[in-house]
Structure 1
């Protein structure tokens, strides 16, 4: 039987960013240096395939430091942790490695600097997300106010409207965040923003590629995890940018083929914690069903790289 024709648009950049790449490398190097088990507080990155692969190599994933023994190394996830976590590890004389993405650490430093200058912090982020918890946890309880939407800005209660600064989660929708920032600036004209926006280069680049690709596609698939903020934002950005149907899938097995009946073009991208092997798996699934013509939609080339902590570069 003849396969129906399909144009497959591949977004570039897509998939792993430098912070995710570094975090995974940190776990692998820790296992090489200290042997298994190595404990990891929270999923190192939000991707089940990646986490399962590291678990098979000897990583043990836990939610709290209290679940870790004193005599084994522990790694803090790429999303960052509240200041109390490394303090508790030091008090227990544990060996620990911080895999926090350097761009998240930049936001932590920024929040502390503003607080040291007497400014109250407002964070734009998603309640309950590990990165938001980690950033808000850089300062004492109650010192950081969280807003998610322009509506939240209208009701937020501040100490002094003249002494405010804001930071943002690094994985937000660029457009949504701009709306919240505009609302903050309208209500609090004196509010101080970041020197350079906090949304990271990888989040911005992946969203821009989706915006370029979406109008060409009948449907779009984002390879990523349901608890991955940046992956979920890609689905939203694709829909807003003109793609009639956008779906988040963890793997090829999750594709809802019935909803794709009759399509002639599909776009594929991936969140920053999704490995290329999962994207290849999705492409292969389309090739099995369609006569595929592939086209790259590239908006920028990335060449960012972050060093792993020195403790892992030194001999055991």
Structure 2
């Protein structure tokens, strides 16, 4: 395949929106701004977002990632610690205050909204059902807003069919923000079928970015020989895009973090490729994937755009006067 004429024609259906959402953009900004304002190191509890490229880029700038606050050395306790976009249990900021740590909360505002919805259910005397994936940081954070025993986690329709609450007439639900819209609808339908008095949250818990990316994939996937989603294996919203593409009609659907993970022997002589990226995947990696396919195929790009996103979330008050360089902004924007 040395000449263009020898390459197989390939149509790349490039989904829009894709990649960074406003919550991810805000979280990355907070770490970069904190490094500007307070100098290195800035500690980050858990991965700020689920993307290795982003994490390694922030490490190169002076961020140090820890899983728990007791990993922060005593001599660095005057340096800020940032809580990730996924949200944290109430016990974490309480622990930070006990240790006299200065913390910046980068929880996505839409995750914070779910926390408030869950707390409202509980305040009104309802037992809270959380629809989500066990062990995911967002689920741990949401469950950690309420007293132990006041939240039940439901993952699947089968879980919903088996669930036996103490008071079936006094339940309220919320969901993780990054779930499959269609799968979650099935779980809610089963719960409503069994518990007609189940109270919904005041607003949809699945965030706009998750919904928009899934809808774009649904448009692009039918007839694709292969659908590639750029994202990390621990990224819930990215894994959902892989599943959505298959259900929408893609013959194969895979998740990759970088172009180096593409198995060209397995990909074979495809004609139509779908391409999207999870909400924590930067555009630079999407472009890397496109260039990798262009080097092997006579590729043309077709935009599969569902909508245009204009959301913007303000950073913490302490950081609003800090200015970023063009290089910083390029990193923040992916």
Same fold (TM over 0.5): yes
Q: Which of 71, 87, 107 in structure 1 is aligned with 2:78?
A: 71
Q: Distance in 1 between matches of 2:97 and 2:198?
A: 36
1:183 paired residue among 162, 167, 190: 190
Tell me by how many angstroms 1:314 deviates.
4.8
Question: Given the alignment, which residue of 38, 58, 76 partners 1:34?
Answer: 38
Moved more, 215-224 or 94-103: 215-224
Aligned to 2:327: none
Gaps of 5+ in 2: 323-334
The answer to whether the aligner puts 1:90 opposite 2:97 as a matched pair is: yes
In the alignment of these two chains, the number of paired residues is 316
The CA deviation at 1:216 is 3.5
Moved segments of 4+, more than 3 Å: none
In 2, Cα distance between the equivalents of 1:278 and 1:260? 19
Q: 1:61 aligns with which of 45, 49, 65?
A: 65
**In structure 2, the residue corresponding to 1:291 is in which secondary structure?**
strand
What's the TM-score, normalizing by structure 1? 0.98
Question: Are 2:223 and 2:251, in contact at CA under 8 Å, matched by a contact in 1?
Answer: no
Which ranges in structure 1 are unaligned for 5 or more consecutive residues?
none
State whether structure 2 residue 310 is matched by structure 1 residue 303. yes
Q: Are 2:207 and 1:207 equivalent residues in the alignment?
A: no
Is 1:270 the counterpart of 2:274 in the alignment?
A: no
Deviation at 1:262, TM superposition (A): 2.1
Residues 117, 202 of structure 2: 8 Å contact kept: no
Partner of 1:259: 266
Q: Which residue of 2 aligns with 1:23?
A: 27
Residues 1-316 of structure 1 aligned to structure 2 (within 5 Å)? 1=1, 2-69=6-73, 70-314=77-321
User: Could you tell me whether the CA contact under 8 Å between 2:8 and 2:269 is conserved in 1?
Assistant: no
- Following the alignment from structure 1 to structure 2, what is the Cα–Cα distance between the partners of residues 113 and 294? 46
1:155 CA drift (Å): 2.0
**Distance in 1 (alpha carbons) for counterparts of 2:22 and 2:87:** 15
Q: Is the 8 A contact 2:85 2:107 kept in 1?
A: yes
Q: Counterparts of 2:274 and 2:159 in 1: how far apart (Å)? A: 34
Query: Are the counterparts in 1 of residues 121 and 172 from structure 2 also a CA contact under 8 Å?
Result: yes
